[in-house]
Structure 1
Amino acid sequence: MSLLIRLCTLVVNVFCLPLHLLEAVGLYKIYKHFFPKILYNITKQYNRKMRVNKAELFDQLPEFARPGGQVTLLEIGCGTGANFEFYPPGSKVICTDPNPNFQKYLKTSMDKNDHLVYERFLMLSGEDLSPVRDASVDVVVCTLVLCTVDDVQRTVCEIHRVLKPGGAFFFMEHVVADTSTWMYFLQHVLQPLWYYFGDGCRLPQPTWKYLESAGFSELKIRHIMAPLFYLIKPHITGYAVK
């Protein structure tokens, strides 16, 4: 199938030449102003369909609270604040995202979720969390973010660095499909077009491999088929303990 994948991907790349050109001259950045609005609407549908999965995952957050019950939580790629409603009351939240245009929607989510304490917003990518001190947070959260970073391994290393010993990294990510499926074929072939629609999102991402080699003391991970759009059905969900 690999030869067929390469040939079909070439055809899609030719189709995407105008988009490649826009990115090369820097005009694609305009999309970053519109993408938060698009994601805001998509997030509503995602949360509706994945509510049970998210609730089940984040119900385990209090296990990593400090004495007294408070959790200091760093969310990487917080976007529109889609996860805020699932965090335990009193959690102190540090938000990061490389796109400052999310802040309008982020404020709306903050206003709706006044059970949380918002410490600050940092305009950072996952690969460089240098303003966050070593071993300073109880929990790190990423959902649908590791598919967009340029260097997954470096991002996971940064997550490991900022976590306190015994702290946990919670994740929910769409991943590459099984190699024997047509889904795998389509994820690779349509990736050039999907990259632009998803603001850098990568469909054929074997994210679990980076987590398995990151040096966490414990990794609890489930592979599921989410009730979502065909290309992003394969998901992993779980947490890793430092």
Structure 2
Amino acid sequence: MAEQLVVDRLTKTFGGIVALNGVELAFSAGELIGLIGPNGSGKTTLLNIVSGYYTADRGQITYENQPIAGTSPHKLARIGIGRSFQVTKVFRRLTVMENMLVSGLSDWSETRSQASERATAILEDLKLTRLRDERASNLSGGQLKLLEFARIMMLQPKLLLLDEPFGGVHPELKRFMYDCIRKWNAAGITIILISHDMGSIFELCRRVVTLSYGDIICDGTPEETRADKGVLEAYLGEHHASA
């Protein structure tokens, strides 16, 4: 498969803290990749740089053979890079449908009627139709996660960056979100998933990248990751890994 996203020697520091230390990664179109590591390992920093919210100190990012380092988030969204956040970001004073139209009409490439039609179909897929006229502020935490999913899909992404989408979500809703992610990936969307829920990573992803203190310490299958001594040490400490 062709390389869709290439991260080349990406470095980012915050004061004296090295968040990313010359990270090099390549992702092929259609992959579903888990990105794991202890707190502070650089996972969210990496997604923030790829999606344009942070600027790297050094290094390059190439998306579909075009350099994108330093490109603003809204321009990256227009070329197919979608992003969710650990803390759900929606317009809470707007209704569910109004939230959808903010995304759908962001580049004025379609009429309001066309955007409304697409939004209705996406809300139906995500079982949010009955809430279309409800203010986002009245939704539960799980419903807000689904609304964020729905808003991202209005952008018709080709690369989807999901940062802890299952945090605080009811197990039944989590299974539904799994199904959504599998469906999108089967349709050809590349997905990079951060989750501290190892069960979700190992169930959904065929490739797992592990970061620790800004360095890649493992890049392999779920089976290889589970057996890797460096991963065990990073999560449990050397004493536990050797026990």
* TM-score with structure 1 setting the length: 0.31
With a CA cutoff of 8 Å and minimum separation of 6, indicate the structure with the bigger relative contact order. 2
More strand by proportion, 1 or 2?
A: 2
More helix by proportion, 1 or 2?
A: 1
* TM-score with structure 2 setting the length: 0.31
